[in-house]
Amino acid sequence: MLLPAACMDCQINLNNMKSNSTARKRVLLLGINFSPELTGIGKYSGEMIDWLTDNNYDCTVVTSFPYYPTWSIQEPYKGNFYKKELTKDGRMKVYRCPLYVPAHPTGLKRIIHDASFFLSSFFIIFYLLFKKNHDQIICMAPPFHLGFLGMFYRFFKGGKLTYHIHDMQIEAARDLNIIKSDAVLNTLFGLEKIILNNADHVSTISVGMIQKVSAKIDREILLFPNWVDTKLFCPVAQRNRLKADWGFKTTDKIVLYSGSIGEKQGLEKLIQIAAETELYRDIKYVICGDGPYKQKLSDMAKAKNLSNMSFLSLQPLETFNSLLNMTDVHLVLQKKSACDLMMPSKLTTIWSSGGLALVTAEPGTTLYNAIHEHQMAVVIDCEDEVLLKKTILDCCIEDHALERKNARIYALDYLSKESILKKFMADLGYESNSSFPQHETIRIPELISEPAVMSGYTSLTQMPL
């Protein structure tokens, strides 16, 4: 049937509106760490992009080859220069760029490491200027200066730039004495402020971090906390029986440190504590992970002829929940100088599995206050070896069922991956995207925002499981 011209114009406009509303949004992620790294920033960046592609976004990633936490390029990526990967029926493109990876990272070597990725990834960003544009550009910091690459791309291609801060890199470099020159530090802070002023959105992972970023610049800082898959990491019944699968007796008390193994973790004190508590035959210490300092720790344990100390490699997802559940005490050790500059990502999986975390954090920090508020872990002062040894023994002897229960409740209520990612994308303005599921309201506690009383609960024991 022939339509009048006006009606034909209306039909065309309606078709265009329908096409635009269902078109996939395009996201460009810039970050030095990405999947298949199992810990840290790479884990979260990989999971976020997986989730976005599963929710009808087209995603492009500019990253490096996986190297963390071992500080060596992982197989089968060794020997590559640049590499392009296509997955999810072409909806996920990953461009991997070469970089310098020091076997034993020092302050200077880390600076060269970051700079080498900035340079190599610039050529991919320049290449992408001649490809289809992206609606959203997300820069993962550290390295903090990746924000300049995002600004460069946006200048030519448009889109919105989100600058997401996982760690306060410059402050950490200053407080850990990696950079000592005031002139250099002031220059870096000045460069960072340019990024903070020019990004369309700035986000970070906790309230404590928001407060620190807000002290640098007067603008809204979005909350984008780390999350956990509460279905994958969950409590199991009769968890002591799992200990036999790992070579221990069901009556053993397992004290676990799992994560990156470097000098800044201060794990040599755990070797000393293991030596001093060797008479407690049932207490076994396990260090799980990889890193440049692991061999030195292993040699220290051998020199002391420790029978209560074991070392494991970083565990894959298929076995990690079993490891978490067979553990009686999870150590989350921080230094005073950096304990409010970053949020230990390992805590999310520990709490989701209903584990007992023994955390070192300074009074007044976000993490310290949240643990006291919600009674979901044991927290003590940083860098007190005598207190740490005493508390480890207490945790192995005392019943901490309440803390375990509260940890799982906290993870279910506040750390769900689905809820956090939906809310973040809605905060960036994508709730009107018809391909994007309607986001749900989530409650944000003090560790991330406000305490649980916001939800109408006066204590954790009143919250539903």
pLDDT (tens digit per residue) in 340-350: 656 678 899 99
Torsion of CA 233, 234, 240, 241, to 10 degrees: -80
Q: Does the pLDDT of residue 269 top 80, yes or no?
A: yes
Q: Is 85 exposed, middle or buried (0-12, 13-18, 19+ CB in 10 A)?
A: exposed
d(CA 322, CA 235): 9
Please check whether residue 154 is in contact with residue 125, taking contact to mean a CB–CB distance below 8 angstroms.
no
CA nearest neighbour of 85 among 61, 108, 116, 53: 61
Q: Does the pLDDT of residue 20 top 80, yes or no?
A: no
The partner residues of 44 in beta bridges, in order of sequence, read none
pLDDT (tens digit per residue) in 393-416: 999 999 999 999 999 999 998 898
Domain locations along the chain: 23-223, 239-412
pLDDT (tens digit per residue) in 436-462: 434 333 444 444 433 322 223 222 222
For 239-412, give the CATH class.
alpha beta
pLDDT (tens digit per residue) in 280-334: 999 999 999 887 788 889 999 999 999 999 999 989 889 999 999 999 999 999 8
Q: pTM of the full predicted structure?
A: 0.77
Q: Is 6 exposed, middle or buried (0-12, 13-18, 19+ CB in 10 A)?
A: exposed
* pLDDT given for residue 340 in this prediction: 61
Please check whether residue 69 is in contact with residue 63, taking contact to mean a CB–CB distance below 8 angstroms.
no
Q: Residue for token digits 């800044």?
A: 264
Tokens of 92: 């996920």
pLDDT band for position 190 (cuts 50, 70, 90): very high
* pLDDT given for residue 99 in this prediction: 97
- Total Cβ atoms within 10 A of residue 249: 11
Do 23-223 and 239-412 agree at the fold level? yes
pLDDT band for position 16 (cuts 50, 70, 90): very low
**92-97 and 83-87 strand pairing:** antiparallel
The three state secondary structure string of 12-74 is HHHHHHHHHHHCCCEEEEECCCCCCCCCHHHHHHHHHHHHHHHCCCEEEEEEECCCCCCCCCC
Percent of the chain with pLDDT over 70: 85
For 23-223, give the CATH class.
alpha beta
Q: Residue for token digits 């508020």?
A: 373
Please check whether residue 235 is in contact with residue 327, taking contact to mean a CB–CB distance below 8 angstroms.
no
